[in-house]
Amino acid sequence: MVEHRAGTSTAVVALVLVAGLLIGGLVTSYVFMRRINELQSDLGNLSSQLSHISGNQTFYNQTITVYQNETALAEMYQKTKDSVVLIRGNTNSGSVQGSGFIYNMSGSMVVVTNNHVVHGTTSLSVTFADGNGYSAVVNGTDPYSDLAVLTVIGAPESEFKPLIVVNSSTLKVGDPVIAIGAPYGLVGSMTTGEVSALGRTITEEQYTGGFTIANIIQTSAPINPGNSGGPLLNFDGKVVGITAAIIENSQGVGFAVPSNSILREIMALVATGSYDGHSYLGVRGMDMDYFRAQEMGVNVTYGWAISETVAGGPADNAGVEANDILVGINGYQIHNGDEMSSYLEEKTLPDQSVILAIVRNNSQLDLMLVLGKRPPPPA
């Protein structure tokens, strides 16, 4: 009986062990399969992330492509540098220096530059990019746009590689631009920047007698003494302006005459030696702002506050009075003096009739005015 019981106990233990092994195997298999599922899920997430990275990679390639296109500036420089010239002149008190560029005016090759580069010169020379220099004479000048046109004497046709001048009205703030010239006599220097503002006005008192040069392009392209008269180019290598001025002791602010002024005036400058198409209101004044409005007791904080009208001038004849505020011309809203001058320069001509929107004693009225012509600039 004892042996039988011992055998039975051994069998029971064996069955328990076998059952334990089976249960353990099942548990292990369950855990193992669950882990496999988790790994498959992780693999799916990783695949999705890789797909997202792959999509971003296309963007990075596009960025690199844009950057590589900008390296074409070197190629553009090679195509345009031979069109830019160095201008030197003698005056009764010393010498002057500036830049210019070649322009094909109906088959005649001329050099376009700034008036202030050649003003008062007794003799002039133009030096091309290959180092060859020739005598030059002034065809015409316009101090009110700071433009001058020269003819080069005795240069062979092979020297002239003209640039194309395009419409500057399409320019927008933020557009990239390039200036090429001879700052400090360093011929063929190129700088890049962007259009930082449009419709500015500048005053060159010595040449304009206090009248503004209107519709000016403001740019961040570095401009230095000697750059004056050189071309301001778009990224297609076309002329959109002519570099004209800098603000003393400033950084990153330069000014250029818009190419539309060149296109509008060059025929007259060559044919008659001058341009007399600048409209004239015959007013003096200042920009409006909040504090000036408070002082004047008016409710308009923008526009051009008339401080004085020139006796017998267009504004005086039209009934404009001191303390009137000009807020519009021909339906175009005028916020400040820059906009007023730029509108008159770009959109009007002498003897043209315009409608002025005037605020007087907090009431608006419209006055018809016949524009005059600016008096001749100082000699």
Q: What is the pLDDT of residues 334-379, one digit of tens each?
A: 999 999 999 999 999 999 999 999 999 999 999 999 999 999 888 7
Q: What φ, ψ does residue 61 adopt, rounded to 5°?
A: -65, -40
For position 248, what pLDDT does the model report?
Answer: 60
Give the SS3 label for residue 258.
strand
Average pLDDT over residues 10-18: 45
Which of 2.40.10.10, 3.50.50.60, 3.20.20.70, 3.40.140.10 would CATH assign to domain 83-159? 2.40.10.10
Average pLDDT over residues 98-125: 95
pLDDT band, residue 75 (cuts 50/70/90): confident
- CA nearest neighbour of 281 among 320, 252, 307: 320
Give the SS3 label for residue 103.
strand
For position 246, what pLDDT does the model report?
Answer: 66
Residue type, 176: P
| Maximum C-alpha span of the chain | 147
DSSP for residue 231: E
Residue type, 324: D
pLDDT band, residue 225 (cuts 50/70/90): confident
User: Residue 278 pLDDT > 60, yes or no?
Assistant: yes
- Cα 284 off chain centre by: 29
For position 50, what pLDDT does the model report?
Answer: 40
Q: Identify any residues that bridge with 340 across adjacent strands, giving them in sequence order.
A: none
| Catalytic residue IDs | 116, 146, 228
Residues making up the chain, counted from first to last: 379
The percent of residues in the chain predicted with pLDDT above 70, rounded, is 79
For position 363, what pLDDT does the model report?
Answer: 95
For position 185, what pLDDT does the model report?
Answer: 72
User: Residue 16 pLDDT > 50, yes or no?
Assistant: no
Compute how many other C-beta atoms are within 10 angstroms of the C-beta atom of residue 11: 10
For position 253, what pLDDT does the model report?
Answer: 84
Residue type, 244: A
Domain ranges of the chain: 83-159, 168-272, 279-373
Domain 279-373, CATH 3.20.20.10 — does that match? Answer: no
Q: What is the pTM of this model?
A: 0.78
Q: What φ, ψ does residue 163 adopt, rounded to 5°?
A: -95, 160
Residue predicted with more confidence, 137 or 57 = 137
- For residue 222, how many C-alpha atoms fall within 13 Å in the half-sphere facing its CB? 9
For position 63, what pLDDT does the model report?
Answer: 32
| Token couple for 194 | 């962007």
The structure tokens 């907090």 sit at 362
- CA-CA-CA-CA torsion sign (190, 235, 64, 59): positive
Q: Are 298 and 363 in contact (CB under 8 A)?
A: no
Q: What CA–CA distance (Å, rounded) separates 91 from 48?
A: 75
DSSP per-residue string spanning 129-192: TTS-EEEEEEEEEETTTTEEEEEESS--GGG--PPPB--GGG--TT-EEEEEE-GGG-TTEEEE
For position 227, what pLDDT does the model report?
Answer: 82
For position 70, what pLDDT does the model report?
Answer: 53
Topology agreement, domain 83-159 and domain 279-373: no
User: Residue 122 pLDDT > 50, yes or no?
Assistant: yes
pLDDT band, residue 3 (cuts 50/70/90): very low
DSSP per-residue string spanning 228-264: TTPEEE-TTS-EEEEEEEE-TT-SS-EEEEEHHHHHH
Out of 59-63, 70-74, 179-183, 267-271, the most confident range is 267-271
Average pLDDT over residues 269-296: 95
Instruction: Tell me which CATH code domain 168-272 carries.
Output: 2.40.10.10
